[in-house]
Structure 1
Amino acid sequence: MGALSAKRMARSPRGFTLVEMVTVILILGILVVGVSSFIIFGTRIFVESSSVDQVLSQSRFAVERMTRELRSAVPNSVRLNGNGLTYQCVEFVPIEASTTYLAMPIAPSAAALMGTVILDDVTSKIKANQYVWIYPLTDSDVYNSARQKRAQIKTVSSAANQVSLTFTANVKFSEASPRQRIYFASAPVSYCFEKAPSGNELTLKRYTGYGFNTSQPTPTDMSSGVLMAQSVANELSNNADLPLILTPSSLVNNAMVHLQPRFNVNGETFQYRHQVQVINAP
């Protein structure tokens, strides 16, 4: 009986030794550290690439929208201002419709309450409360009603091959357009690069709905702007690094807006260099 018990004990499995347990723990620890490092590294790459992609998409959208709206600006409506420290803004009036006028009260004719334009595909975009311009040659012609280049529409009616416009008050435009061009728009728009509340980076905001002002307004003069882009790294105090540069129009040249915002994300910097031509065809 004793011999049988000894044989059974000899055949029973042995437990782990301390050395084996320590070895296994070390191997598992090395594997865990390696796997966790790989996961952390991959997660960091994903987060950083997502941040870069977000800033790229955001900045591309903002620059493309600015470009599209600037290209359709009323001639000579683009103006630029800034204080060299906290903001730089470009203001302009996007065209909503343009056509040829048939009859308008233009000096030396007497002031009148009505005018007519040709009926075409774009006249459906002419609405009450819009403003009209005839032959604007400077930004004062666009923003200053005393220059007698601007009037506001009260009612619009179509008949035969023409559209009749009734103005909110008697008007007499100071000059006729050589090509009888007339422009329609509702409100000015401003894009402002502003210093963020904290840090040295700038944000890009779009403002509208603040009305026409003889002097170009600052961000504090306008209503709350819509955030278009962040992480702008230009230095407003450095004239060579401004995000906006305006080359005014002349008798032989169109106006040119140079867009050169510089963005910084995760230590990487990229810059746009766009030239937007604003056609000078008053």
Structure 2
Amino acid sequence: MASHKNNKSYKHHKSAQGFTLVEMVTVIIVLGVLVLGVSSFVVLGTRIFVESTSVEQVLSQSRFAMERMTRELRNAVPNSIRLTPDTVLTYQCVEFVPIQASASYVDLPISPAAANNTGTVFPPSQGLNVGNQMLVYPLLPKHIYSATPAGTTGRLFDVDAFDASTGEITFDNSIQFAEASPIKRYFMISGAVSYCFQSGGELRRYANYGINANQLTPNSSGVLMAENVVNNLATDKPILLAPSSLVNNAILQLRPKFEVVNQKFQYQHQVQVINVP
């Protein structure tokens, strides 16, 4: 009877001992390996998600910027496109004048006819805004950017009033256009637009600054269109221009290069600008 009690006491004492040190260390090691594996998987998944999100963001920005530039350039006034000189190495800008409205004229004071302050035109489908300026037959960028809209002779003039019922247009002064358009076309414009690639990797859009003889110098006030541009502005210009001629339209080649999370991609996109003024 005493032996049976001693045996039960031994078993109870043995079961109350718990885990040994070796068992605890083994469990800790196993748990550590599991936690390390799970955390590595989570970190890797998070990094892949962050990197893919960054790539998608840059791709979306660049696609939007290229599409916006393409649409605006196709609507540029013939012979209004000009690039920053190659000697400038800290930025490159393409400047152009968007067409606000366009139609044909019936009668305008065009050299050698006498100067006059009125003319007759067909109203454009977009409507004619007297706050805009009338342009006729621009053959060179200087015919637009170096013009004197408030003057009396040239190709670009301020408009004072327009009567849609008769098509009569009134100018601020008695004016005289330099040359007639072969197809009697006129353009209504209101100002230039510039897209500038800067050495810091930004592409910015500038507007509402008028029309100036000197091309715009970019600053931080432009609308940010894209980032992460890595073109070398000295050796790898993001924009190339093949000027228009009597037989060819102007061809603008957009080739900005972008980089994100050590991945580079470059656009090779051509925009044809109709040069019939």
TM-score, normalization by structure 1: 0.89
Alignment partners' CA distance in 2, 1:168 and 1:261: 43
Whether 2:159 is the aligned partner of 1:153: answer yes
What amino acid sits opposite 2:63 in the alignment? R
Alignment partners' CA distance in 2, 1:69 and 1:267: 31
CA deviation string 1:84-120 (max 9, x = no partner): 3201111100111111111211112222222222135
- State the match for 1:229 in structure 2: 226
Q: What is the DSSP-based 3-state SS (H/G/I as helix, E as strand, rest coil) of the residue aligned with 1:231?
A: coil
Deviation at 1:242, TM superposition (A): 0.7
Among 136, 139, 143, the alignment partner of 1:137 is 139
What amino acid sits opposite 2:197 in the alignment? F
* 1:127-276 matches, cutoff 5 A: 127-146=129-148, 148-159=154-165, 162-196=166-200, 202-219=201-218, 224-238=221-235, 241-276=236-271
Alignment partners' CA distance in 1, 2:144 and 2:124: 24
Alignment partners' CA distance in 1, 2:161 and 2:172: 8
Among 110, 114, 117, the alignment partner of 1:110 is 114
Structure 1 segments (4+ residues) deviating >4 Å: 1-6
Q: What is the DSSP-based 3-state SS (H/G/I as helix, E as strand, rest coil) of the residue aligned with 1:219?
A: coil
Contact preservation (8 Å) 2:192, 2:207 = yes
Among 82, 98, 104, the alignment partner of 1:100 is 104
Identical-pair percentage: 52
CA deviation string 1:118-151 (max 9, x = no partner): 13533x2x21211111111111111122471101
What amino acid sits opposite 2:57 in the alignment? Q
Contact preservation (8 Å) 2:101, 2:125 = no
Deviation at 1:8, TM superposition (A): 6.3
Alignment partners' CA distance in 1, 2:239 and 2:180: 33
CA deviation string 1:210-234 (max 9, x = no partner): 21112323225xx821111111111
Q: Tell me how many residue pairs correspond in the alignment.
A: 269
Alignment partners' CA distance in 2, 1:224 and 1:36: 44
Alignment partners' CA distance in 1, 2:172 and 2:66: 36
Alignment partners' CA distance in 2, 1:5 and 1:149: 120
Alignment partners' CA distance in 2, 1:26 and 1:216: 69
Deviation at 1:39, TM superposition (A): 0.4
Evaluate the alpha carbon distance shift between residue 120 and residue 144 of structure 1 in structure 2; reply closer, same or farther with a 3 A threshold: closer
TM-score, normalization by structure 2: 0.90
The structure number with the bigger radius of gyration is 2
What amino acid sits opposite 1:106 in the alignment? I
Alignment partners' CA distance in 2, 1:71 and 1:119: 22
Deviation at 1:156, TM superposition (A): 2.8
Alignment partners' CA distance in 1, 2:160 and 2:7: 114
Q: What is the DSSP-based 3-state SS (H/G/I as helix, E as strand, rest coil) of the residue aligned with 1:107?
A: coil
Deviation at 1:256, TM superposition (A): 0.9
Contact preservation (8 Å) 2:101, 2:124 = no
Among 263, 272, 280, the alignment partner of 2:275 is 280
- State the match for 1:199 in structure 2: none
